[in-house]
Structure 1
Amino acid sequence: MMRANAHPTAALAAAVMAFALVAPVAPVSEASAATTVPDHHVHTAVPSVPAALAELASLDRAGIADLLERTPGLIATLLTRTSAGEAAAWWTGMDVAHRADLIRTAPLLVGSLDGIDAVDRVRANRYAARTRLARVDERLQRLTRGDDEDDAAQLGDLLLERRYLTRVVAGDVHLYLYAPERGAMIEMAGDPSTAAGILLVVPGTNASVRSFMVDDPVTSFADWQAANADPSSPIVAFTVLAAPMPQISLDVVAGPQNNTIATAAGADYARIVKGIDVAFPGLPTLSYEHSAGSQVGSAAEVHGARFDVRFLAGGVGATDGYQPVAGTAYYAAQAAEDVNRYYAGFQVGDIGYGVGPEEIPGVVIVDPGYTEEQATGSVGAMLMQGLDLHNRLFSGDGRTNGTVLKDVRLLLASLARGSGG
């Protein structure tokens, strides 16, 4: 197949056609009851971060609740201005009983504050999910009574979110972050207390909060790795939606071809990665990035995120001017007929990605092991085959993506603490 940088106009046109063949996956509605987080709207002057943290550490549960009620902007301030190191020092400086009080009384803070112990964050998000679930039930009751006509169009989203939150409350899903109001969500898999390595999985084009809730969720790759890790090198895995991702669109400016969307998400990904580094000091990290998620990883490096390994799976690569980071190993897997080959490696300003995944200096090319037939027939049929091959790289099904799943498993084992990489 011709590379995009050889025929850029045709490549971008083909990419647009490819995106048109796939229906966009709409995110859970921002009007959903569970997305209402009043604390994120600053209306009142709040104390400095050190003073606020010290006060929260000194109050009982009633005092904590009163402080949050009197200072509605406090949680938003702490989430945006507290460094991961500050949060970790504050959290570990309190005894277990007081941390439990904060988990129950301020779950939105504890469940979202980077640097805090992962298990405690998951516990806090279970408490927060109970409150969100109650709000969803209230909305569903109003809908049943016909009190709110605007909810009728959101019935499917509400029911999907209710099913998901029920699993969170039951402990079947481990939420590390749940911020649907800003398009961010992280699920954790594996036991953090025994982990010898960290896997970060970044979904790409069309990913949304809803993608975590459907029957074939974006967490399947991370779930497989956590469940099938080398027994001598267990891992903890995070599926990271750091910010809204590009959604499939016929509009070149609004779709995944617009590199500014994934680039913006890179800053959020960097902050999350730095927080995980603080929470798991010394553990090696592998970032597995699918499709436009590879630009998220590339942009995160610009904002100071560091990884032992980056694995670009059907990736778009990076924007013009990108340079790999010394000390990071780069891998790329892409089917010969992957649809991203139509345009990765070509860029005009905000449109496209100038550095293809296989063009990164020093990158190791991994054969995904797919049996492919040469693309023939109609353009639509060719593009559908390319999309199928592209999406398989994010699958946790060993029957369709076994080679890459096993290769990543081996990489994670080689990165285990003390192995020397």
Structure 2
Amino acid sequence: MNDVTRSALRLTGEQDLDPVLDRVGEATLVLIGEASHGTHDFYTWRAALTRRLIAEKGFGFVAVEGDWPDCERVNRAVTGDGEDPFDALYAYRRWPAFMWANEEVAEFCRWLRRWNAALPPGERCGFHGLDVYSLWESLRAVRRYAAARLPGRMETVMEALYCFESYGHDPRRYGLETRLVPDSCEEEVVRMLRAVVESAPDDEGGFAARQNAEVVAGAESYYRAMVRGGPASWNIRDVHMADTLDRLAAFHEAKGVVWAHNTHVGDARATDMAAAGMTSLGQLARERHGEDVVLVGFGGYRGTVVAAANWGARAHVMPVPPARPGSLEALLHDALAGERGLFVTPERPRPRWYDEPLGHRAIGVVYRPEREQRGNYVPTVLGDRYDAFIWLDVTEALHPLHAEPWDDVEPETYPSAM
């Protein structure tokens, strides 16, 4: 317990994030997590750290666990003179929209727009989506781009579109039917991706078109793998996010900040995910970029959260009960007497508690507090999973911009809900 107390740094305001900035140093990728998708405090502290990384360390883009087309609308709002970022976020429709259509993200994006207004267009900090789910939205975006800029490639693009149309615009149906019948749209998608990658110019519009084509390819693989169960669909998704992050960094020639759940940001090798055959974005980033990567996790002991009892159900504010005994959260709560704290992982030799496997709470968009003692915890070696950890003992629910659900409730992260 004393080792935990001695390891903790004070955390009362943004100025107390200095040790994290020192740990970042010259790193080019900082991945910042969240212990739940529906907690105000995780979002606001993550935004505070990101503002400092942009202003003091010159980071040039923010990439989030969200859909590419929706986030490109936000990107235009924060880098240009178009609609208010609030309106761009309010237009999110895919369940769970509250992950990004909330007041906390809107506040950050308005700050980002003000920050960018003082910079020339080529130096503005963007906002992009890393995720793989927007099959139809991205396919339509590729069609629009090809019609306007690549007319010679339209036949190839339309072949992919017609193939998916035969499944009724429903990725779930596509995945289920390709499981039963060895027929898929994979070949059409590969041809479309090759055509767009080879033909789209190396400008903003061309990059967006190539990325939408990559999303279609990733989504096609994801939905086929999802219905088969096992770790394959999770890994397809995190590899896609890692590849997208690399493409963004290369295209913009800039340092990037990532916002995603702890289960993606943390190194899977420090959890039981590795034994289950699962990787993570944080692990992949470390494997590819080594010391150029810094991983920051979050945790909390009790409070409230926005989540839903079932997939696609209306999200609402739920209680988060005190963490179960023996967990990382219980250890930190007891050691810090209910205070906030910041931990920067030291080099070995280090206090033993950093290397002890402890249950670490993970709340997704689906949550049932009554099951707290049986689930929701990932066995974690904290010192290997993160480079820094932000501890917020009592937390509050975030503030969605609109009610849930909308009509489109396809099971994007089923069954993990992360």
TM-score in same-fold range (> 0.5): no
* TM-score (structure 2 length as normaliser): 0.29
* TM-score normalized by the length of structure 1: 0.29
